[in-house]
Amino acid sequence: MLFNSLVFFVFLIVVFTVYWLFRNQLKLQNVIVLVSSYVFYGWWDWRFLSLIVISSLADYFIGIWLSRTEEKTKRKLLLALSILVNIGILGFFKYFNFFVDSATDLLSQFGFQANPTSLRIILPVGISFYTFQTLSYSIDIYRRQIEPTKDIIAFFAFVSFFPQLVAGPIERARNLVPQFLKKRTFDQENASDGIRQMLWGFFKKIVIADNAAVYANEIFANYGDHTGGTLLLGAVLFGFQIYGDFSGYSDIAIGTARLFGFNLMQNFAFPYFSRDIAEFWRRWHISLSTWFRDYVYIPIGGSRVSRLKQIRNVFVIFLVSGFWHGANYTFIAWGAAHALLFVPLLVFNKNRRYTQHIENRELLRNPQIILKIFLTFLLVTVAWIFFRAQTISEAFEYIIKMIQTLFESPVKKFNISAQPVFFAIILMIILEWINRKEKHGLQIKNWPVVARWSVYVFIALFIFMYGKFEQTEFIYFAF
Amino acid sequence: MTRFLLKIALFWILLIGLIYSAAKVASRNAERKDYSNYNIEDNVIITPKNEHFDFLMLGLSHARNFSRHRNHQRVEEILNCRFLNYGKGGGDGNIANQYVFLNYFLSRGNTTNRIFYVLSMPMFFAERLDENAFTYQYEKLDPLFFYHVLTGPDVNKGEKLYTYVRSKFDKHWRMKYGPWSAKISDNVLEKFDTAQIINGFKRAYVNGLEFDTFEKNKKLMRKTIDLAQKKDIEVTFIVTPSTFGEWPGHEHVMEFMNDLKKEFGIEVYDFSRVYLHQNEYFYDHHHLNSDGVVKFTKEYLKPILNKQKSK
| A424-443: pLDDT as tens digits | 999 999 999 999 999 999 99
Residue A176's H or E segment, with its range, is helix A173-181
Confidence at residue A471, expressed as pLDDT on a 0 to 100 scale: 56
CA neighbor of A93 nearest in space, from A130, A42, A132, A128: A128
Interface touch A457/B14, C-beta < 8 Å = yes
Q: Looking at the predicted structure, is the pLDDT value of residue A118 above 60?
A: no
Cα A238–A242–A244 angle (5° rounding)?
110
CA distance B218 to A238: 46
Interface residue of A469, A470, A471, A472 to substitute, partner B, most B CBs within 10 Å: A469
Axis-axis angle for helices A228-259, A210-221 (nearest 10): 150
Residue B219's H or E segment, with its range, is helix B211-230
pLDDT (average), residues A242-247: 94
Q: Looking at the predicted structure, is the pLDDT value of residue B224 above 90?
A: yes
More confident residue, B173 or A422: A422
Interface residue of B15, B156, B160 to substitute, partner A, most A CBs within 10 Å: B15
Confidence at residue A424, expressed as pLDDT on a 0 to 100 scale: 93
CB atoms near residue B199 (< 10 Å): 11
| B273-289: pLDDT as tens digits | 999 999 999 999 999 99
| B93-105: pLDDT as tens digits | 999 999 999 999 9
pLDDT bucket at A115, cuts 50 / 70 / 90: low
pLDDT (average), residues A352-380: 87
CA distance A19 to A222: 49
pLDDT (average), residues B110-134: 94
| A40-57: pLDDT as tens digits | 999 888 888 888 999 999
CA distance B47 to B60: 17
DSSP string of A258-294? HHTT--PPP--S-GGG-SSHHHHHHHSSHHHHHHHII
Q: Looking at the predicted structure, is the pLDDT value of residue B177 above 80?
A: no
Question: What are the residues whose beta carbons fall under 8 Å from the beta carbon of A180, sequence distance 6 or more?
Answer: A30, A33, A149, A151, A154, A155, A157, A158
Strand partners, B267: B236
Strand partners, B236: B116, B267
What separation in angstroms does the CA of A74 have from each of A66, A78, A280, B161?
8, 6, 40, 61
Confidence at residue A90, expressed as pLDDT on a 0 to 100 scale: 83
What separation in angstroms does the CA of A1 have from each of A9, A28, A37?
10, 23, 10
CA distance B92 to B97: 9
ipTM of the complex: 0.75
Mean pLDDT lowest among A181-190, A333-342, A398-407, A413-422: A413-422
Instruction: Give catalytic residues of A, as residue numbers.
Output: 325
**b/e sequence B155-179, b meaning 16+ C-beta within 10 Å:** eebbbbbbbbbbbbbeebbeeebbb
CA neighbor of A156 nearest in space, from A38, A19, A41, A34: A34
Question: What are the residues whose beta carbons fall under 8 Å from the beta carbon of A451, sequence distance 6 or more?
Answer: A444
> CA end-to-end span of chain B, whole Å?
67
Whether A46 and chain B come into contact, CB under 8 Å, resolves to no
Confidence at residue A476, expressed as pLDDT on a 0 to 100 scale: 56
Cα A333–A85–A303 angle (5° rounding)?
45
Q: Looking at the predicted structure, is the pLDDT value of residue A98 above 80?
A: no
- The percent of residues above 70 in pLDDT, for chain A, comes to 95
CA distance A444 to A452: 7
CB A314 within 8 Å of CB A343? yes
Q: Looking at the predicted structure, is the pLDDT value of residue B176 above 60?
A: no
A99-108, A197-206, A214-223: which is most confident? A197-206
What is the sign, positive or negative, of the torsion defined by CA atoms of A139, A145, A151, A155? negative
Whether A449 and chain B come into contact, CB under 8 Å, resolves to no
Confidence at residue B31, expressed as pLDDT on a 0 to 100 scale: 74
CA distance A130 to B268: 60
Residue by residue, what is the 3-state secondary structure of A354-414?
Answer: CCCCCCHHHHHHCCHHHHHHHHHHHHHHHHHHHHHCCCHHHHHHHHHHHHHCCCCCCCCCC
Confidence at residue A311, expressed as pLDDT on a 0 to 100 scale: 92
C-alpha distance from A202 to closest chain B C-alpha (Å): 15
C-alpha distance from B166 to closest chain A C-alpha (Å): 6
Mean pLDDT lowest among A103-117, B56-70, B172-186: B172-186
* Residue of chain B nearest A191, judged by CA positions: B4
Phi, then psi, of A448 in degrees rounded to 5: -60, 145
Interface touch B1/A465, C-beta < 8 Å = no
Confidence at residue A460, expressed as pLDDT on a 0 to 100 scale: 93
Confidence at residue B183, expressed as pLDDT on a 0 to 100 scale: 64
Average pLDDT of every residue of chain A:
89
CB B41 within 8 Å of CB B183? no
Confidence at residue A103, expressed as pLDDT on a 0 to 100 scale: 75
CB A262 within 8 Å of CB A179? yes
B4 interaction partners in chain A (CB closer than 8 Å):
186, 188, 191-192
C-alpha distance from A468 to closest chain B C-alpha (Å): 11
pLDDT (average), residues A300-327: 89
Which of A:184-243 have CB within 8 Å of B? 186, 188, 191-192, 195
* Rg of chain A (C-alpha set): 23
Contacts 24+ apart (CB under 8 A), B4-10: B4/A186, B4/A188, B4/A191, B4/A192, B7/A192, B8/A195
CA distance A320 to A302: 14
Q: Looking at the predicted structure, is the pLDDT value of residue A376 above 60?
A: yes
Smallest Cβ–Cβ distance between A469 and the set B19, B162, B169 belongs to: B162
pLDDT (average), residues B135-154: 92
Interface touch A20/B1, C-beta < 8 Å = yes
Confidence at residue B115, expressed as pLDDT on a 0 to 100 scale: 97
Q: Looking at the predicted structure, is the pLDDT value of residue B165 above 70?
A: yes
CA neighbor of B215 nearest in space, from B286, B124, B117: B124
Strand order in the sheet with B83-85: B83-85, B52-58, B111-118, B234-239, B267-270
CA neighbor of B94 nearest in space, from B57, B59, B119: B59
Question: What are the residues whose beta carbons fall under 8 Å from the beta carbon of A217, sequence distance 6 or more?
Answer: none
pLDDT (average), residues B73-90: 94
CA distance A374 to A273: 8
CA neighbor of A8 nearest in space, from A170, A246, A212, A202: A202
CB B13 within 8 Å of CB A32? no
Residue A74's H or E segment, with its range, is helix A72-90
pLDDT bucket at A314, cuts 50 / 70 / 90: very high
CA neighbor of B256 nearest in space, from B295, B221, B281, B231: B221
Which of A:451-470 have CB within 8 Å of B? 453, 456-457, 460-461, 464-465, 469-470
CB B53 within 8 Å of CB B82? yes
CA neighbor of A478 nearest in space, from A254, A240, A245: A245
Q: How far is CA A245 from the centre of its chain?
A: 9
Smallest Cβ–Cβ distance between A191 and the set B4, B14, B18 belongs to: B4
pLDDT bucket at B169, cuts 50 / 70 / 90: confident
Confidence at residue B27, expressed as pLDDT on a 0 to 100 scale: 77
- The percent of residues above 90 in pLDDT, for chain A, comes to 66
Confidence at residue A344, expressed as pLDDT on a 0 to 100 scale: 93
Q: Looking at the predicted structure, is the pLDDT value of residue A474 above 60?
A: no
CA distance A249 to A241: 12
Confidence at residue A106, expressed as pLDDT on a 0 to 100 scale: 75
More confident residue, A413 or B65: B65
* Residue of chain A nearest B11, judged by CA positions: A457
Interface touch B8/A460, C-beta < 8 Å = no
CB A168 within 8 Å of CB A129? yes
Every domain of chain A and the residues it spans: 6-111+124-185, 189-275+354-478
Q: Looking at the predicted structure, is the pLDDT value of residue A478 above 80?
A: no
Confidence at residue A473, expressed as pLDDT on a 0 to 100 scale: 56
Neighbouring C-alpha atoms within 13 Å toward the C-beta of A98: 18
Every domain of chain B and the residues it spans: 2-309
What is the sign, positive or negative, of the torsion defined by CA atoms of B27, B28, B30, B36? positive
CA distance A83 to A91: 11
What counts of helices (H) and strands (E) characterise chain B?
14, 5
pLDDT bucket at A333, cuts 50 / 70 / 90: very high
Q: Does domain B2-309 have CATH number 3.40.50.11540?
A: no
Longest dimension (CA), chain B: 72
CA distance B286 to B266: 25
